[in-house]
Amino acid sequence: MALAQKAIIIGAGPAGLLLAHYLLRRGDQYCVELYERRPDPREGEMSQGRTFPISLQERGRKAMRAIPGLEEAVAAQSVFCQGSMIYRPQSKPRRIPRKNKILCIDRNQLVTILLQELTQRYSSDRLKIQFDSTCTQVDATAKTVTLESNTKEQFTTSYDVLIGADGAKSQVREFLVQNAGLECKQHYVPDAYKSLGVSRINPEKGLSAEPDVIHAWTLDNNTRLLLVPQPGDRLQGTLIFKAENNPLEGFSTPEQVFAFFQEKFPLCGELMTMEDADTLLQRQVARVLTVRCDRFHERDNILLIGDAAHAVSPSIGQGCNSALEDVFVLGQLLERYHDDWSQILPQFSEKRVPDAHALQDLSDYSFPRNKRLMFEFFLRLQLRRMLHHWFPQWVKPFLFDLVLDSDLSYSEVLRLNQGWINKVKRSLS
């Protein structure tokens, strides 16, 4: 019997953990080692400052569905949303229903579930997971990876296949850029953000936010607030703003933050406590780094997936969905080419690079920033929904519905909506 292939996965986020599930379900063909620079999320309280809500649609859920029982385990600790509620100054809230429910979960909670399911299903002789371990060097000739623990101890391990699932600042990708001619463009999106959380209910004021919609506000200066329902009657979300125009800049007390939310985001302000305001005040401003690569593999044994390959703006909520879809596509290729990585990896790049580039355009230019185009956006959405209902064979839904309610390739979604994307792009320039 052939020896099991040793797959080293750098990064134990959603994509890395799901890929471990996919490889280990293939019997004794693989043993997997996972290395993650962050601490183990199962031990102690994870910092809420570095987490954020994730909305999983058909792409991401389909990828989990391939592992029996996994989607159900995630769904049991999630909230299902049936659309969005859009709030704008001096306007009535606008409800945008979704054809399919969106599964909403905190990023750290998703990681914890994927991790627990993995360790429950597979023994330590096939699965090794080590946290607080940072990749510092890759030797493609010797097929080894050097890592450093949080105590600064270095160790080296060999691989048959190396997968970089280590996020937008991937060390595996950096090695390929420096040593293998990988072309990669990176830039920070113009927006910055702060994470926040509030209770969904204020019993003292008899107030509650709807439990089954994503709540979104946009101010005239493009400051946005996004709050996503979570289990336990919580709303977790982000305050998004231009990096050079932080609306909380200069605030030194939670009372100032509280007053700002009372004025600008009244519903959220009524749900916010002084403790919530103080927590938000203390949190660091974060930026999103986007990544665009010309390929996702090197030779027949190094692969990039998820944010390491194609980090995008979170504006349409596709970062995690596209990362999980990477794993689904890889799973199909493993079946088709019978685990022959010399065929799998070039095919993966050929299939996923065009979709990743399309997703970057969709993420950057789907959602308009001025009032006139915002009106047109909602008009197109409603009109296309109506026409699609009447003539489903002839009229496709509008861009957002195609992204959120279908698993149509990002390339095809972009092709069908290129005119709108160009229009938004021109408005921003």
Residue 13 has pLDDT above 80, yes or no: yes
Residue 316: per-residue pLDDT: 87
Cut 0.75: pTM above it? yes
Of the ranges 245-259, 281-295, 362-376, which one carries the lowest mean pLDDT score? Answer: 362-376
Residue 148: per-residue pLDDT: 96
Confidence of residue 47 (pLDDT cuts 50, 70, 90): very low
Confidence of residue 165 (pLDDT cuts 50, 70, 90): very high
- Residues 163-182 have a mean pLDDT of 96
Confidence of residue 428 (pLDDT cuts 50, 70, 90): confident
Confidence of residue 368 (pLDDT cuts 50, 70, 90): confident
Could you say which DSSP state residue 120 is in?
H
Neighbours of 423 (CB within 10 A): 14
Residue 88 has pLDDT above 70, yes or no: yes
Domain extents for the chain? 5-83+105-186+291-362, 91-99+188-287, 370-427
- β partners of residue 103: 56, 80
Q: Domain 91-99+188-287: which topology?
A: D-Amino Acid Oxidase; Chain A, domain 2 (3.30.9)
Residue 99: per-residue pLDDT: 83
Q: In what order do the strands lie in the sheet with 30-35?
A: 127-130, 30-35, 5-10, 161-164, 302-304, 297-298
pLDDT tens for 401-410 read 899 888 999 9
Residue 49: per-residue pLDDT: 41
Q: Reply yes or no on domain 5-83+105-186+291-362 having CATH 3.40.50.2300.
A: no
- The closest of 119, 100, 94 to 12, measured between CA atoms, is 119
- Residues 213-233 have a mean pLDDT of 89
Of the ranges 36-50, 84-98, 226-240, 252-266, which one carries the lowest mean pLDDT score? Answer: 36-50
Residue 167: per-residue pLDDT: 95
Distances (CA, A) of 173 to 106, 355, 394: 26, 19, 42
Residue 2: per-residue pLDDT: 59
> For the chain, what is the mean pLDDT?
93
Residue 46 has pLDDT above 80, yes or no: no
Residue 51: per-residue pLDDT: 67
Confidence of residue 20 (pLDDT cuts 50, 70, 90): very high
pLDDT tens for 251-290 read 999 999 999 999 999 999 999 999 999 999 999 999 999 9
Of the ranges 221-230, 351-360, 368-377, which one carries the lowest mean pLDDT score? Answer: 368-377
Residue 362: per-residue pLDDT: 95
- Residues 76-100 have a mean pLDDT of 88
- CA torsion sign, 44 to 118 to 232 to 132? positive
Which helix (H) or strand (E) segment holds residue 190: the answer is strand 184-199
Residue 48: per-residue pLDDT: 45
- Amino acid, res. 245: N
- β partners of residue 188: 289
Percentage of the chain modeled with pLDDT above 70: 98
Residue 89 has pLDDT above 80, yes or no: no
